[in-house]
Every structure is written in C-alpha cells, then in structure tokens.
C-alpha cells in the first residue's frame, strides 16, 4: 500500500526550479488522490509542525519563480538521532506517510534517516552545483550556468574595451561543472576546477602568453570557488597575473546571483518530471530512493547506494575546454 498523505519540503541551499518540483509533487499527488502538505523551512518545519495543506491552486503561478515558496533551511537540530525521531513522531502524529525532500546530498542523508525512523522518503536532487554522483543532472544547474554565462558576457564587453584580464569566480566548492561549462561557453583562456589542481605558470601565464602571440589582448579566467593548487582566491590570482604579465587584471566574485532568477526551460521540465516521478514511487509504496537523471532518462537509486557513489568528472569536456582555449 502506497502513501496517501504526503509532505514536500526543500532543504539546504536553494536552487531555481525548486518551485517547479514542488508544483509537480503537489499536482501529481492530488491527481493520484493523495492529500499533500507543504513543509516550511526544510526539516525545521517538520520539527516545528510548520505544515500547510496544498491544493491545486496553491502552486499556481510559481513555475517561473526562482527560490522556493516553502523556504529552505539548514537544521542542526534535525541533524541528531533525537531530532530525526522527533520529526518522525511529528509526521506520525499528523498522519504523514510519505515525504518528498528536494535538496542536496546533506538533505538526502536526512531523508535516509527519516525513512529509517519509519517515514518513507523520496529525494530529488535540487542544487545548482550538479554535484550528485548518481545523477547526470540536478535541478538548478542549467539556470545557474546560464546566469554565470550572461554575467561573464557582460564583463567581457568591458574587459575587451580596456584590454584587460578578468578573473571571475563562479560557484562550485567541490564540483567544477558550472565552471567548466561556463568557461567553454564564454571562451575563457583558462578554466580552473576543483577536480584538477592547477599550476599558475602552466595553466594561466603560459596560456595568456601563447594567446598574446596570436594577437589576443583581453583574457577571461574562470575559477571555481573550490579551486585547488596554485593561488586560492580570484583577488590573489588577478594580482599575480598583473604582476607577472603587466596586463591590467580585475577580479569578480559572481556569488549568490547564480542561485537566483527564473528557472530555464530545462530546469522547469526536469523538476516537473522528477517531482511527478517521486510521487509515483511513494504511490507504489517505494521509499528511500533518490530520483536521478541517468543516460537520458529519469530513474531512481537507493539513497545509501547513491550517497556512496564516487562523483564523475567529465574529463572529455575538460580536455575539449583545454584544447579550444588557445
């Protein structure tokens, strides 16, 4: 027997497309005859009993909005065995027999623990970083990359006019996917990701000098937050580039702008598909699964298995980026 009264929450960092996922969960649940509740502020909402009944119209006019109408939070109180038990008791008291959690891998651990405490959970990857090992795609990734690309295109205009070097930090502490993809899309001279430690001379200076010999006079260096090797921090990298090459260099940290904005078509459709798929699983009595996009289709994995998978880095795309940045 599948779930009949389900709740949906967003947890961890927000990502554009979370609203589209909430909408799909609410509408699919109601379509399948379930009662659906929205939990506010992640796992905190479960602990505080902050749940609101959702009907078809409660999710009208949100598919195009960034952020999350349910708000999100990090909940240290939930992240303890007592917190998990309390949340499960709260669900039982309210008759909630299924929860859809939209978030990153920390939120998945929370979903696994809640399932262990007797409340069936399904997780949906919602994070701009694309850092979920079992899935080729996470909701929010496409919007974040497109935002970064648009911002860097604007910086390029001014960088080109002044023959400058622009060093730009994009998000990605452990995962270089935003950096690698936007680096290619903006024609960066150097792209520095956490997965490949960089050498300042070889990966930046030599590349700039080589490009100068063919007439290039402005340069874009895209750096992921969690870059390893060389110097850390775009301010420092820009300063060193200027010292060594004499090219005027400026640092920009794009920051939280990458988290916001109206989700792209890809994020809206992916979030809608994943949301509907998650509810289908609960309806069939399946739990403790992560919804994933693998080899071009939506599928699901056991949460513990998914959490233990090593993350794949697209070395082929990295090679391409390196080859065409000359």
Tell whether residue 103 is a contact of ligand ATP (CB under 6 A). yes
Query: What tokens were used for 196?
Result: 């490949």
The nearer residue to ligand ATP, 192 or 303, going by C-beta atoms, is 303
**CB of residue 63 to ligand ATP, shortest distance in Å:** 21
Query: What tokens were used for 191?
Result: 């792209």
Terminal C-alpha separation, the chain: 59
Looking only at residues 109 through 148 of this chain, which bind ligand ATP when binding is defined by CB under 6 A? 109-110, 113, 127
Q: Find the part of the chain contacting ligand ATP (CB under 6 A) among 99-107, 147-155, 239-247, 248-256.
A: 99-107
Q: Find the part of the chain contacting ligand ATP (CB under 6 A) among 97-105, 183-191, 205-213, 255-263.
A: 97-105
**CB of residue 214 to ligand ATP, shortest distance in Å:** 40
Tell whether residue 74 is a contact of ligand ATP (CB under 6 A). yes
Member of 9, 88, 91, 105 binding ligand ATP (CB under 6 A): 105
Member of 13, 38, 120, 263 binding ligand ATP (CB under 6 A): 13
Find where tokens 């697209």 sit: 314
**CB of residue 147 to ligand ATP, shortest distance in Å:** 16
Taking the C-alpha atoms of residue 35 and residue 53, their distance in angstroms, rounded to an integer, is: 8
Tell whether residue 258 is a contact of ligand ATP (CB under 6 A). no
Tell whether residue 79 is a contact of ligand ATP (CB under 6 A). yes
The nearer residue to ligand ATP, 14 or 97, going by C-beta atoms, is 14
Taking the C-alpha atoms of residue 250 and residue 268, their distance in angstroms, rounded to an integer, is: 35
Contact map string, positions 35 to 54, toward ligand ATP, x by CB under 6 A: --------x-----------
Q: Find the part of the chain contacting ligand ATP (CB under 6 A) among 72-80, 149-157, 182-190, 253-261.
A: 72-80
The nearer residue to ligand ATP, 66 or 104, going by C-beta atoms, is 104
Q: Is 299 exposed, middle or buried (0-12, 13-18, 19+ CB in 10 A)?
A: middle
| CB burial readout 174-207, b (16+ within 10 A) else e | ebbbbbbbbbbbbebbbbbbbbbebebeebbbeb
Tell whether residue 11 is a contact of ligand ATP (CB under 6 A). yes
Catalytic-residue membership of 280: no
Q: Which of 67, 16, 8, 69 is nearest to 43 (CA)?
A: 8
Contact 9, 70 (CB under 8 A): yes
β-strands 35-39, 51-54: how paired? antiparallel
Where does 49-176 have alpha helices with state H? 81-94, 105-116, 141-161
**CB of residue 44 to ligand ATP, shortest distance in Å:** 8
Taking the C-alpha atoms of residue 125 and residue 107, their distance in angstroms, rounded to an integer, is: 9
From 129, 131, 142, 300, the catalytic residue? 129
Beta bridge partners of 99: 7, 121
Return the active site residues. Answer: 129
The residues of the shown chain that bind ligand ATP, judged by CB under 6 A, are 11-13, 43, 74-75, 78-79, 84, 103-107, 109-110, 113, 127
């Amino acid at each position: 027997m599948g779930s009949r009264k389900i709740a949906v929450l967003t947890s961890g960092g927000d990502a554009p497309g979370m609203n589209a996922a909430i909408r799909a969960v609410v509408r699919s649940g109601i379509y399948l005859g379930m009662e659906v509740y929205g939990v506010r502020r992640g796992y905190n909402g479960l602990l505080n009993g902050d749940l609101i009944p959702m009907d078809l119209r409660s999710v009208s006019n949100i598919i195009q909005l960034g952020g999350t109408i349910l708000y999100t939070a990090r909940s240290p109180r939930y992240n303890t065995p007592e917190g998990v038990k309390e949340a499960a008791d709260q669900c039982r008291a309210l008759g909630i027999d299924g929860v859809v959690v939209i978030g990153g891998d920390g939120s998945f651990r929370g979903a696994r623990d809640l399932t262990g405490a007797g409340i069936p959970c399904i997780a949906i990857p919602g994070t701009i970083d694309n850092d979920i090992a079992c899935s080729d795609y996470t909701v929010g990734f496409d919007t974040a990359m497109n935002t970064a690309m648009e911002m860097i295109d604007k910086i390029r205009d001014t960088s080109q006019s002044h023959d400058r070097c622009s060093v730009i930090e994009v998000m990605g502490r452990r995962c270089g996917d935003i950096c690698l993809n936007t680096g290619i899309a903006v024609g960066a001279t150097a792209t520095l990701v956490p997965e490949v430690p960089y050498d300042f001379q070889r990966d930046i200076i030599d590349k700039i000098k080589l490009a100068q010999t063919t007439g290039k006079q402005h340069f874009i260096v895209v750096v992921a937050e969690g870059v390893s090797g060389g110097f850390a921090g775009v301010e420092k990298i820009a300063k060193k580039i200027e010292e060594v090459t004499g090219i005027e260099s400026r640092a920009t940290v794009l920051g939280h702008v990458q988290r916001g904005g109206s989700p792209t078509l890809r994020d809206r459709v992916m979030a809608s598909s994943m949301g509907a798929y998650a509810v289908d699983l609960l309806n069939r009595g399946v739990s403790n699964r992560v919804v994933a996009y693998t080899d071009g289709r939506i599928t699901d994995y056991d949460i513990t298995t998914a959490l233990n998978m090593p993350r794949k880095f697209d070395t082929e795309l990295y090679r391409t980026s390196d080859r065409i940045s000359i």
